[in-house]
């Protein structure tokens, strides 16, 4: 493997990668988790089949800066909306939320409207995903 590119904006930042709902496709989530970790972030991965409520609870307990939600089952609209609700209710509305998976372009606007900061599909190069997460976190740190 090539050397990981350390991204200063990610050093010391805590990121939760989560699989909401029943979707069992975890490769994308794991790849992103590994890439963010190698770029300097502290990454926590939930494992499969977590409820929005559980994800919000972990996000608060772990004091994360960002949550990445991975959904490939077509249920992203409901699951992302529910998770954002749970985060708000848990008093964690400052946590940045990213979404990855099989997300039709038509749904991007809906998700951004909910407050999602970045949407990443499988065609996007990993370096770009990491850079985008880093930039968003750098902006919010300021």
Partner 1 sequence: MSAPISQQRPATGAGEGAPKPPKPASSAGIPIPVVATAGMLRGAPLEAPGTYPYTRGIFPDGYSGRLWTFRQYSGFGTAEESNQRYRFLLDQGQTGLSVALDLPTQCGYDPVDPMARPEVGKVGVSLSTLADAEVLFDGIDLTRISTSFTINGTAAIIYAMYLAVADKHGVPREKLTGTIQNDILKEYVARGTWIFPVQPSMRLIADSILYSNDVTPRFNPISIAGAHVRDAGATAVEEIGYTLANGLAYVEDLRRRGGDVEKFGRRLSFFFYVHMDFFDEVCKFRAARRVWARLMRERYGVQDPRAQHFRFGVVCGGSSLVAAQPYNNIMRVTIETMAAVMGGAQSIFTCAYDEPFQIPTEFSAELALRTQQIIGYESGIAKTVDPLGGSYFVEQHTDRMEEAILKVMQEIDDHGGVIKAIEDGWLQRRIAERARERKLKVDRAETIVVGQNAFRRAEQSEEFGEVFRLDPQASNRVIERYEDVKARRNHAGVERTLERLQQAAAKDDENLMPYLVDCCHAYATVGEMVQRLKTLWGEFQEPVRL
Which residues of the shown chain bind partner 1 in the complex (CB under 8 A)? 1-3, 5, 21-27, 30-31, 33-35, 37, 43, 45-49, 51, 73-75, 78-79, 82, 102, 104-106, 121-123, 125-127, 131
CB of 94 to partner 1, least distance (A): 25
Beta-strand pair 96-101/118-120? parallel
| Closest to partner 1 by CB, 61 or 94 | 61
Distance from C-alpha of 90 to C-alpha of 45, rounded to nearest angstrom: 19
| Closest to partner 1 by CB, 86 or 94 | 86
CB of 127 to partner 1, least distance (A): 5
Distance from C-alpha of 137 to C-alpha of 117, rounded to nearest angstrom: 10
| Closest to partner 1 by CB, 36 or 95 | 36
In three state form, how does the secondary structure of 5-72 look? Answer: CCCHHHCCCEEEEECECCCCCCHHHHHHHHHHHHCCCEEEECCCCECHHHHHHHHHHCCCCEEEEEEC
CB of 142 to partner 1, least distance (A): 22
| Closest to partner 1 by CB, 22 or 94 | 22
């Amino acid at each position: 493997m090539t050397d990981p590119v350390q991204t200063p904006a990610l050093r010391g930042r805590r990121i939760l990668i989560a699989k909401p709902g029943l979707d069992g496709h975890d490769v994308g989530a794991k790849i992103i988790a590994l890439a963010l970790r190698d770029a300097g972030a502290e990454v926590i991965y939930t494992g499969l089949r977590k409820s929005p409520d559980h994800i919000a609870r972990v996000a608060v307990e772990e004091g994360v800066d960002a949550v990445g939600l991975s959904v490939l089952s077509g249920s992203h609209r409901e699951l992302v909306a529910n998770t954002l609700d749970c985060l708000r209710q848990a008093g964690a509305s400052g946590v940045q939320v990213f979404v990855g998976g099989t997300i039709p372009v038509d749904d991007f606007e809906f998700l951004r409207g909910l407050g999602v900061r970045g949407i990443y599909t499988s065609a996007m190069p990993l370096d770009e995903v990491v850079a985008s997460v880093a930039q968003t976190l750098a902006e919010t740190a300021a």
